[in-house]
């Protein structure tokens, strides 16, 4: 298996040493990892969610030299999208030879769904719809990306008794997202780290995966979103099982921006 989403300490919100990440990945038997450090232009209150990519690519080369015979080390970026920074983000993505581009929404209309304030005064349906609408708009505008990050980002800090993102509550929007991704030959990641402090069997709705598969969706990857080595590949066994239940036979990782299929 490949863990397609993790952050080294080049990202300001991560403390993970890249060597420790590679050593951990080898120890637990992963075939490869993608280092998706952050590119978030105009992140409210935090200008520095930007990585020095010259330094980043030197790090990747060093890691490949050290671990390349035991682990595939993929260069990647997690691009945080807001409508007014799409062109700049696109330019940066095109400047560097990434293996993989993960497109995520972290900010919705200037508000951060990671903060509890995003949910106050909004019903669960309103708050989650806002997030999914932002994703739908982003994938219509961004040309150069491979997969969409964490569809369920909103559940991490949502203040509702039942946080689960359910297909049946947002079937119109989710169908629009799935169809757009399938039409464009793209997919989405199953962000296992979202369920780090939860019980995924209780809080992940299998119908999301089943519906995506039913519409013809094939591209799906697993990403832990680890910011610490102990979170690498978290819940992968559970979600691999769930993917098989939903009818998937493969996950995918990206090399040189092309999908490579890995048997589940």
Which residues are near Zn ion by CB under 5 A? Answer: 78, 104, 225
Alpha helices in 184-229 (DSSP H): 200-203, 206-214
- The nearer residue to Zn ion, 73 or 226, going by C-beta atoms, is 226
Output the CA–CA distances (angstroms, integers) from residue 66 to 18, 193, 227, in the order listed: 11, 27, 21
Q: Which two tokens stand for residue 136?
A: 């739908």
- The nearer residue to Zn ion, 6 or 183, going by C-beta atoms, is 6
Position of minimal CB gap to Zn ion? 104
Residues 6+ away with beta carbon under 8 Å from 32: 2, 3, 25, 71, 72, 73, 74, 253
- The nearer residue to Zn ion, 32 or 78, going by C-beta atoms, is 78
Alpha helices in 71-216 (DSSP H): 86-95, 124-141, 171-183, 200-203, 206-214
Q: In angstroms, what is the minimal distance from the CB of 106 to Zn ion?
A: 6
Q: In angstroms, what is the minimal distance from the CB of 81 to Zn ion?
A: 10
Q: In angstroms, what is the minimal distance from the CB of 247 to Zn ion?
A: 27
Q: In angstroms, what is the minimal distance from the CB of 150 to Zn ion?
A: 6
- The nearer residue to Zn ion, 164 or 224, going by C-beta atoms, is 224
CA dihedral defined by 187, 225, 157, 247, rounded to 10 degrees? 40
Residues 6+ away with beta carbon under 8 Å from 175: 211, 215
Q: In angstroms, what is the minimal distance from the CB of 218 to Zn ion?
A: 23
- The nearer residue to Zn ion, 3 or 225, going by C-beta atoms, is 225
- The nearer residue to Zn ion, 146 or 225, going by C-beta atoms, is 225
Q: In angstroms, what is the minimal distance from the CB of 129 to Zn ion?
A: 19
Beta bridge partners of 222: 190
Q: Which two tokens stand for residue 175?
A: 């169908």
3-state secondary structure of 48: coil
């Amino acid at each position: 298996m490949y863990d397609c989403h993790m952050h080294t300490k080049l990202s300001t919100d991560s403390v993970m040493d890249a060597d420790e990440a590679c050593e951990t990945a080898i120890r637990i038997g992963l075939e490869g990892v993608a280092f998706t450090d952050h590119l978030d232009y105009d992140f409210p209150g935090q200008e520095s969610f930007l990585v020095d990519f010259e330094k980043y690519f030197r790090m990747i080369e060093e890691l490949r030299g050290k671990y390349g015979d035991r682990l595939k080390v993929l260069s990647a970026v997690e691009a945080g999208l807001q409508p007014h920074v799409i062109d700049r983000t696109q330019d940066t993505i095109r400047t560097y030879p990434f293996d993989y581009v993960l497109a995520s929404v972290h900010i919705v209309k200037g508000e951060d769904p990671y903060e509890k304030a995003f949910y106050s005064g909004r019903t669960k349906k309103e708050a989650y719809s806002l997030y999914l609408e932002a994703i739908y708009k982003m994938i219509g505008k961004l040309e150069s990306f491979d997969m969409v990050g964490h569809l369920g980002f909103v559940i991490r800090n949502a203040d509702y008794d039942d946080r689960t993102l359910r297909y049946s509550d947002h079937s119109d929007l989710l169908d629009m997202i799935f169809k757009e991704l399938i039409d464009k030959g793209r997919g989405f990641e199953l962000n296992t780290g979202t369920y780090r402090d939860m019980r995924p069997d209780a809080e992940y709705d299998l119908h999301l995966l089943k519906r995506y598969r039913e519409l013809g969706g094939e591209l799906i990857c697993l990403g832990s979103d680890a910011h610490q080595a102990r979170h690498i590949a978290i819940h992968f066994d559970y979600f691999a099982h769930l993917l098989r239940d939903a009818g998937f036979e493969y996950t995918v990782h990206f090399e040189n921006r092309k999908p490579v299929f890995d048997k589940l």
